[in-house]
């Protein structure tokens, strides 16, 4: 990984937008600071399209899309996206409502099997807002030993599930999407941006291994200093500061570079 200072000003100027993770990237232990919110507004005022990409539930995405200066939110690790169009929040799902209901029922059976095998695992407190995946709390309000997390993940994968681990949660789903595919799909459907253009004209900021698809998929990728886990590919650049302070550091660097190049 390269220091943030090595990011070329010309690349900053060419960006159309910025995609960012929430927990431990924009948020500090689940909370939004005034500095981070100000950074979002400054990035938006500079003409950048902003898009959140998170493992948090669709219900969060509906609220945040209304409240923040963003084009939308890609939630549940890429499966469900929310877009604001003509004052309404539109849910973007690859499958129709009937198929989603059937898949949720099948997922419920898998979750019951996981809970029977691993009774020490507890659901995260945001599961009621989810449409397509199920999440266990492994580091948000309690710490689950790493070997138990690995065993539960292996158990779910052996039964056909897709498993994703973030800095705070273990996610189980029956969908193949990841954050990168969800973001690229959103940008195509909502903004008409070609997938190849999206990967070069949008930057991504994240902190953990469930961001690996975006670290790999976007040419310009950034990690905050608290980057953790074992992503299959690390970001190209790394901030010196952690969490929201790192996000603000990256935002300031991008905005500074863009202003220096402005005629």
What's the whole-model pTM score? 0.94
Per-residue pLDDT of the chain (263 residues; tens, 9 = 90+): 899 999 999 999 999 999 999 999 999 999 999 999 999 999 999 999 999 999 999 999 999 999 999 999 999 999 999 999 888 999 999 999 999 999 999 999 999 999 999 999 999 999 999 999 999 999 999 999 999 999 999 999 999 999 999 989 999 999 999 999 999 999 999 999 999 999 999 999 999 888 999 999 999 999 999 998 776 678 999 999 999 999 999 999 999 998 875 54
Show me where the domains of the chain are located: 2-94+177-261, 97-173
What is 2-94+177-261's CATH superfamily? HAD superfamily/HAD-like (3.40.50.1000)
CATH of 97-173, one of 3.40.50.300, 3.20.190.10, 3.90.1070.10, 1.10.3190.10: 3.90.1070.10
List of residues 6+ apart from 205 with CB closer than 8 A: 18, 19, 20, 21, 25, 26, 221, 222, 223, 224, 247, 250
């Amino acid at each position: 990984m390269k220091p943030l200072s090595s990011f070329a000003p010309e690349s900053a100027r060419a960006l159309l937008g910025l995609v960012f993770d929430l927990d431990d990237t924009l948020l500090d232990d689940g909370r939004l600071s005034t500095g981070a919110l100000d950074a979002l507004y400054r990035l938006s005022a500079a003409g950048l399209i902003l898009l959140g990409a998170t493992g948090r539930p669709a219900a969060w995405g509906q609220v945040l899309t209304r409240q923040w200066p963003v084009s939308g939110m890609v939630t549940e690790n890429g499966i469900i996206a929310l877009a604001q169009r003509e004052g309404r929040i539109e849910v973007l799902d690859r499958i129709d409502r009937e198929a989603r209901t059937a898949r949720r029922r099948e997922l419920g059976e898998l979750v019951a099997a996981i809970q029977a095998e691993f009774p020490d695992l507890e659901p995260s407190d945001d599961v009621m807002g989810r449409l397509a995946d199920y999440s266990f709390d492994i580091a948000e309000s309690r710490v689950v030993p790493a070997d138990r997390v690995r065993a539960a993940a292996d158990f779910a994968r052996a039964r056909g599930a897709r498993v994703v681990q973030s800095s705070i949660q273990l996610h189980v789903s029956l969908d193949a999407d990841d954050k990168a595919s969800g973001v690229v799909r959103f940008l195509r459907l909502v903004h008409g941006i070609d997938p190849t253009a999206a990967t070069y004209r949008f930057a991504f900021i994240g902190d953990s291994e469930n961001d690996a698809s975006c670290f790999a998929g976007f040419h310009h990728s950034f990690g905050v200093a608290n980057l953790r886990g074992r992503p299959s590919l690390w970001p190209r650049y790394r901030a010196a500061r952690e969490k929201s302070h790192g996000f603000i550091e990256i935002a300031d660097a991008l905005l500074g570079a863009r202003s220096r190049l402005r005629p």
